[in-house]
Amino acid sequence: MMIVLKPHLSEEEINQVVEKVKQVGLSPHISRGIERTVIGAIGSDAPSKKEIFESLPVVEKVVLILKEFKLVSRDFKPQDTIVKVRDVEIGGDEVVVMAGPCAVEKEKLLIEAAKAIQKAGAKILRGGAFKPRTSPYSFQGLGQDGLRYLAKAREETGLPIVTELMDARDIEVVAKYSDIIQIGARNSQNFTLLKEVGMVDKPVLLKRGLAGTVKELLMSAEYIRSQGNTQIILCERGIRTYEDSTRNTFDLSAIPVIKSLSHLPIIADPSHALGKRDLVPSMALAAVAAGAHGLMIEVHPNPAEALCDGPQAMYPDKFAELMKVCRRVAEAIGKRM
């Protein structure tokens, strides 16, 4: 349930309510607005405790959140969440583009890609060091060396980096090197891993599962949020359907649906959704028009030689062209890019 406090309370008064929430066996989650503080009191028997809080003089009202996802819902927090990554803000008026190769390969190649995407206007560098591959015989990523190359590229360009975490045993090293920890589609419902990233103080980019529903994505985000991490970015990356003319089926409608249900930022990854580089631009533009807070796009200086996802990787010059048109679409709907 959501305990809405009266405006302008002192820290001590807020803390007394937080303590009371703990006393009755619920877990408190504080959300501070400009005027008012709201305390989410989570626990299966929350409804039976409603009256206890309604009777407190500092409480304005108590609202039960009927949806299964609670802390990530708009009911709990009506204002959009903005996730800050160094000096980049995701979730506000700027459409933030994350771009780079699927996998980190050679250091020089990564730096070349980083410079190209930066010049085109991307704000965050992507690249996988731990790769979730369908075949155990495919390139699995460079592991820690890949993380070091990413850090080097950040040092050279100033671009923050996003990279995937596949295994909880690597959480410390991935958190150490990255600015955003990516949880990929295949781990979207790895609840143990979700709880682990919920405990770190680092933004998390959570991708929609291979055949996940919007609700399942939001429940996964709830796992992260329930552990205390509020810095979550959602990502629509296409879902498996019977349609096989594209790698996945890009669910454009998920963007406005998620924006109506949740306060978390939602970005779109048309690269993994479409799977073919020539199809990426149209859906990137559509996603911006639909209100996505950002894009994730795979770009490789030499896609023919890419060790992973070459067919969907854009050439840097085509990516730069796309960025120009994206900017015009963003501006047409009152956003910046």
The footprint of ligand PEP (CB under 6 A) covers 102, 128, 132, 184-186, 207, 237, 269, 272
Report the residue closest to Mn ion, judged by CB. 102
* Nearest approach, Cβ of residue 132 and ligand PEP (Å): 6
Residue 179 binds: one of Mn ion, ligand PEP, none (C-beta under 5 to 8 A by kind) = none
How far apart, in whole angstroms, are the C-alpha atoms of residue 55 and residue 59?
8
Read off the DSSP letter of residue 249. Answer: B
- Going by C-alpha positions, the residue among 116, 121, 125 that lies closest to residue 177 is 125
Among residues 90, 102, 159, 279, the one that binds Mn ion under rule CB under 5 A = 102
Q: Which is nearer to ligand PEP, 91 or 128 (CB)?
A: 128
Q: Which residues pair with 233 in a beta bridge?
A: 205
**Residue 132 binding target from Mn ion, ligand PEP, none, CB below 5 to 8 Å by type:** ligand PEP
Cβ closest to Mn ion, residue 102 vs residue 288: 102
Shorter beta-carbon distance to Mn ion: residue 61 or 106: 106
Q: Does residue number 309 form part of the binding site for Mn ion (CB under 5 A)? A: yes
**Residue 206 parent element (H or E):** strand 204-207
CA distance to 75, 235, 284, per residue, from 277 (Å): 38, 19, 11
Q: Dig out the tokens for 176 from the structure.
A: 């150490």
Cα 302 to Cα 321: distance, rounded to the nearest angstrom: 17
The smaller minimum CB distance to ligand PEP, of residues 154 and 237, is found at 237
Residue 5 structure tokens: 């406090």
Residue ranges in the chain assigned as alpha helix (H)? 11-23, 50-54, 107-120, 144-157, 171-177, 191-198, 214-226, 254-261, 270-274, 280-289, 316-332
Distance CA 144, CA 142 (A): 6
Nearer to ligand PEP (CB atom), residue 53 or residue 250: 250
Q: CB-wise, 186 or 202, nearer to Mn ion?
A: 186
Q: Which is nearer to ligand PEP, 10 or 134 (CB)?
A: 134
- The rounded distance, in Å, linking the Cα atoms of 74 and 203 is 19
Of Mn ion, ligand PEP, none, which one sits near residue 207, judging by CB under 5 to 8 A according to partner kind? Answer: ligand PEP
Shortest CB 131 distance to Mn ion, Å = 8
**Residue 164 interacts with Mn ion (CB under 5 A): yes or no:** no
Which two tokens mark 86? Answer: 């160094």
User: What is the number of the residue whose Cβ is closest to ligand PEP?
Assistant: 184
Check binding of 105 to Mn ion (CB under 5 A).
no
Min separation Cβ 172 and ligand PEP, Å: 21
Strand partners, 207: 235
- Which of ligand PEP, Mn ion, none does 185 bind, CB closer than 5 to 8 A by kind? ligand PEP
Smallest distance, ligand PEP to C-beta of residue 48, A: 40
SS3 29: strand
- The span from the CA of 288 to the CA of 256, in Å, is 11
- Residue 99 beta carbon to Mn ion: minimum distance, rounded to whole angstroms: 12
- Indicate the residue among 7 and 132 with the shorter CB distance to ligand PEP: 132
Least distance in angstroms from the C-beta of 162 to ligand PEP = 9
120 binds Mn ion (CB under 5 A): no
CB 275 within 8 A of CB 248: yes
Q: Rule CB under 5 A: which residues touch Mn ion?
A: 102, 309
